[in-house]
Amino acid sequence: MLKIIDRYIIRKFLTTFFFMLGVIMILATVFDLADKLGEFIENDATLYEVVFEYYLNFILFYGNMFSSMIIFVSVIWFTAKMAQETEIIPIWNSGRKFSRFVRPYMIAATILMLISLVFNHFVIPRSNKVRLAFEERSYRHAISVQDYHAEFPGNQVVYFKSYSASNNLINNLVIEQWNYKGEIVSFIKAETAENAIGSDRWQLKNYYKRNVGYPRDQITEGAVMDTSFQFGIEEMATRDNIAQAMTYFELKKFIERERFKGSSMVSMYEVELYQRTSYPFATYILTIIGIAVASRKKRGGVGINIAIGLGIIFIYIFAMKVTTVAAINLGLSTLISVWIPNIIFGGVAWWLYQNAKR
């Protein structure tokens, strides 16, 4: 049963969070618009596309990404204000335990954490599909790939020299089909190849095809051949942020396929997957740290609490970046690397909590 003080703190927590989120996202939108307005105009983006396809999803993505940080600042801000205005002293004088004071904070943090968790895995990826599609049309340079090599399911090995999305053409495509005994079965080479976007249909030009067989091979050559493969160009020419547009189950399936292909990007995709869970859970840790830092009245007023909070945020972000780089470039376990900052700061939160109780 929630008491008056519980409802008061929860209301303070949520209203401060959404107010700060709104202010920060408005500022981010203004700065982003100032930077990209010329490109939007140059590419004939309509007002509807800019507002509803790009900025609405821009706000959802970045607002959710930095929600735990904004929660931290919000907790410090309104808790420090309560301390400065001596609203917390009567709570201590009433003999309430510190854990009882923390309870409404954790209820509000749980609400925001669950929202962020669902958004990270299912809502944001769908909104990112719309945002990233707009970015491709409006201001990103065309994708290009050089010296591609990968193995696809079914023992199919694919090579090509170069690809440019501006004309959707692959140059010097080679496809080898192997059997499970490690013997080559067929070989296709084409001077150029074009894939119908979103399908498995391909058109090969100036092609050479060899089917290996006993006692003699079968060789076919020609100017044009329409065929199909079990892959599309979108699997081979992708941006680093492709994982942002995949829901939890889509991303899990995608990672398995990329691992089979021997992709060097698997670690990056795994980091994206695990961060979708670790970031929301950081809400609990940062909330406890925020309460411990701001619940005591300080001579410097609210400003000193905000300064301490910003310092902790910078250290936390730095720790996340270091462990992410270690996972992608040094082979550290992606699951461990993503949770290391939470583990470290969880220990800090526990120490501050114990000292705050005294």
Whether 133 maps to a domain, the answer reads yes
- For residues 20 and 87, membership in a common domain is answered with yes
Claim to verify: residue 10 and residue 134 sit in the same structural domain: yes
Q: Residue 135: what residue type? A: E
Q: Verify that 291 and 352 share a domain, yes or no.
A: yes
Closest CA to 75 of 309, 280, 296: 309
How many Å apart are CA 28 and CA 246, to the nearest integer? 24
Residue 109, in any domain of the structure: yes
Whether 257 is in a domain gets the answer no
Residue 296 lies in a domain: yes
- Predicted pLDDT at 357: 61
Domain assignment present for 245: no
pLDDT value of residue 299: 66
Collapsed DSSP state (helix, strand, coil) of residue 239: coil
Please state, in angstroms and as integers, the Cα–Cα distance from residue 118 to each residue in 21, 111, 115, 250, following that order.
18, 11, 5, 15
Domain co-membership, 10 together with 125 = yes
Q: Do 160 and 68 belong to one domain?
A: no
Q: What is residue 94's predicted lDDT score, i.e. its pLDDT? A: 72
Domain for residue 195, yes or no? yes
Query: Is residue 249 a part of any domain in this protein?
Result: no
DSSP code for 43:
T
| Residue 128, domain member (yes or no) | yes
Clarify whether residues 172 and 223 are in a common domain: yes
Residues 19 and 124 placed together within one structural domain of the fold: yes
Does one domain contain both 152 and 91? no
Per-residue pLDDT of the chain (358 residues; tens, 9 = 90+): 788 889 999 999 999 999 999 999 999 999 999 999 999 998 899 999 999 999 999 999 999 999 989 999 999 999 988 888 877 877 777 777 888 889 999 999 999 999 999 999 999 999 999 999 999 888 777 788 999 988 888 889 999 999 988 888 999 999 999 988 888 999 999 999 999 888 889 999 999 999 987 777 888 999 999 999 988 888 888 888 899 999 999 999 999 988 888 888 899 999 999 999 999 999 999 999 999 888 876 666 677 777 877 788 889 888 988 998 888 888 889 999 999 999 999 999 999 888 876 5
Same domain (yes/no): 128, 168:
no
Domain, as residue range, for 214: 144-238
Rounded distance, CA 159 to CA 170, Å? 10
Residue 149 sits in the same domain as residue 191: yes
| 289 and 227 inside one domain | no
Identify the pLDDT of residue 216. Answer: 78
Q: ∠ at Cα 341 (337, 342), nearest 5°?
A: 110
DSSP code at position 50: I
Number of independent structural domains in the chain: 2
Rounded-to-integer distance, Cα 320 and Cα 349, Å: 17
Give me the pLDDT at residue 300, please: 62
Residue 213: strand, helix, or coil:
coil
Same domain for 230 and 148, yes or no, is: yes
